[in-house]
Amino acid sequence: MQTTRNLVLTAWMAEHGYSSNTLADAVNQAIGDLTGRLGGLDGSSVRDWKAGRVRWPKSATRAALTKVTGLSATALGFVPRGRAASAPAPPQEGPVNRRSFLSATAATAAMPAPTAAPPHRVGASAVAKLQHKFARVVAGDHQHGGIRGIETRALELAAEAVHLQSRGAASQRVRAQLYGVAAAFTSSAMWAAIDGRRFDAARRHHERASSLASMSGDQAIQFRIWSHAGTLYRHLGRPSDALAANDVARNLSIVRRDPLFGSLGHARHAAIHGATGDGAGVRRSLGHAQEALDRADGATARPVWLEAFYGQSELDSLALAAYLALGDWAEAEAHAHRSLAALPPHMHRSRAIATARLARAQLGQGDLGPAISTAMNIPQGAKRHPRVSGMLGAFGARLRECAPHSPHTRMWTEHQREALA
């Protein structure tokens, strides 16, 4: 049987920047949100929809498509089972019916055409509301870290921003801003997934975020997305890919215009150099990062995500990560103390991570008592954060390896046992 291509779905995907693979990923995620179990679609499933080989997906898939696109399945060009894809041919008419039809047509032509309702206008106020919601997502991330709730909420808001594109008329400038804020939300979902060690999800979010950012033309959000990608690959143990991704961010023209972007790019490059064992690269990149930070003008208006976290404390935190990777424990400890001293009080997740790294630096120098005291001072709630719990697990393993019979080791083991009880 000859199939009819779904041109409506194909056009929607082209307008909103979806490939077959990225739409499949988004629908799979939406199925997971709706049913508690991630969907099993792939790019070939979407190609079947576009080609008309599958004209009416399953009910869960239709609900997920509506969640992703904001449109019903029929509005996306799908055809319910038992219904023809094209409009049915008109019935055969007799002479009387034909005369009635022609008379009605002539009468209709004489009537004035009804005035169409003006399209809904999407303006700057809608963008401002979304940007306010984005600031709240950023604040939640600094308080709680990579929990699924932040990831899910960010994706919902990204979808809301994209759907505004199809719900009304907007200027080219507003459309670009909507794509930019959608990219920003998706990049926050990406960061939440990285922070929560959900790396497969982070890769999917990166693909979608980079596509949206390209359509927005917003270099600040493009920097954030590719800088996050560098961090993702560093955590995955792929430093060559991490350097390449971070270089995409560092080569954007916004880095040359604003030293604060340049400083963050250099600081994250230092952390990656640490993962490769390149001590000279670490020191060189940190020197560039500090010099650029010292030049940054505090009066310059910058995105909320950058203003919310980057400054001297974060630079020292990235230096701490770099020197830990090199095994330079004393230098790492010095940066840990500087980072913690300058860290804003609301950044609970960052404080827990820096404290766990400080404990590791102290342990590396053989200071068992101070190391255990530092680790035990991390709040119990923060210890459940995936990155923090992983660091403390590695801390305990190293402690048992270097001092298996020490009373300090027994103290730490008992502390952990009570914490898990």
Q: 361 pLDDT exceeds 50?
A: yes
Reported confidence tier of residue 345, pLDDT bands at 50, 70, 90: confident
pLDDT of residue 3: 63
Looking at the predicted structure, is the pLDDT value of residue 243 above 90? yes
* Residue 202: both structure tokens together: 């982070």
- Report the percent of the chain where pLDDT is more than 70: 87
Strand partners, 121: 169
Residue 168's pLDDT band (cuts 50, 70, 90): low
- One-character DSSP codes across 16-41: HT--HHHHHHHHHHHHHHHHSS----
Query: Would 389 be classed as within a structural domain?
Result: no
Question: Within a 10 A sphere around the Cβ of 334, how many other Cβ atoms?
Answer: 16
pLDDT of 174: 84
Domain interval for residue 56:
7-69
SS3 state of residue 121: strand
Q: Is residue 29 part of a domain?
A: yes
Q: In this prediction, what percent of the chain has a pLDDT beyond 90?
A: 48
Q: Which residues pair with 169 in a beta bridge?
A: 121
pLDDT of 356 reads 96
Tokens of 101: 């039809």
Question: In the predicted model, what is the mean pLDDT of residues 280-300?
Answer: 94
Q: Please say whether the beta carbons of 193 and 146 come within 8 A.
A: yes
Lowest-confidence segment of 62-71, 82-91, 171-180, 400-409 by average pLDDT: 82-91
* Residue at 266 is within a domain: no
pLDDT tens per residue, range 12-68: 777 676 788 888 888 888 888 788 788 889 889 999 988 889 989 998 899 888 888
Q: Does residue 295 belong to any structural domain of this protein? A: no
Is the alpha carbon torsion for 380, 386, 388, 394 positive or negative?
A: positive
Task: Give the pair of three-digit tokens for residue 312.
Answer: 């001297």
List pLDDT tens digits, range 87-136: 333 334 344 444 443 343 344 344 444 444 445 677 778 888 888 888 88
- Provide the terminal-to-terminal Cα distance of the chain, rounded to the nearest Å: 63
What lies within 8 Å, CB to CB, of 373 at 6+ separation is none
> DSSP of 176-238, one letter per residue?
HHHHHHHHHHHHHHHHHHHHTT-HHHHHHHHHHHHHHHHHHT-HHHHHHHHHHHHHHHHHTT-
pLDDT at 291: 97
Number of structural domains (the chain) is 1
pLDDT of residue 173 exceeding 70: yes
Model confidence band, residue 348 (pLDDT cutoffs 50, 70, 90): confident
Can you list the pairs that 15-19 forms with residues at least 24 positions away whose Cβ atoms lie under 8 Å? 15/165, 15/166, 16/69, 16/162, 16/165, 16/166, 17/179, 17/211, 17/212, 17/214, 17/215, 18/211, 19/43, 19/211
Position 56 in a domain: yes
Closest CA to 366 of 399, 410, 394: 399
CA–CA distance, 284 with 291 (Å, rounded to integer): 11
Under 8 Å between Cβ of 43 and 19: yes
Contacts 24+ apart (CB under 8 A), 120-124: 120/167, 120/168, 120/169, 121/168, 121/169, 121/170, 122/164, 122/165, 122/167, 122/168, 122/169, 122/170, 122/174, 122/178, 123/170, 123/171, 123/174, 124/174, 124/177
Sign of dihedral through CA atoms 200, 202, 203, 207? positive
pLDDT reported for residue 167: 67
Residue 49 located in a structural domain? yes
Residue 296's pLDDT is 93
Residue 119 lies in a domain: no
Mean pLDDT of the chain: 85
Confidence of residue 420 (pLDDT cuts 50, 70, 90): low
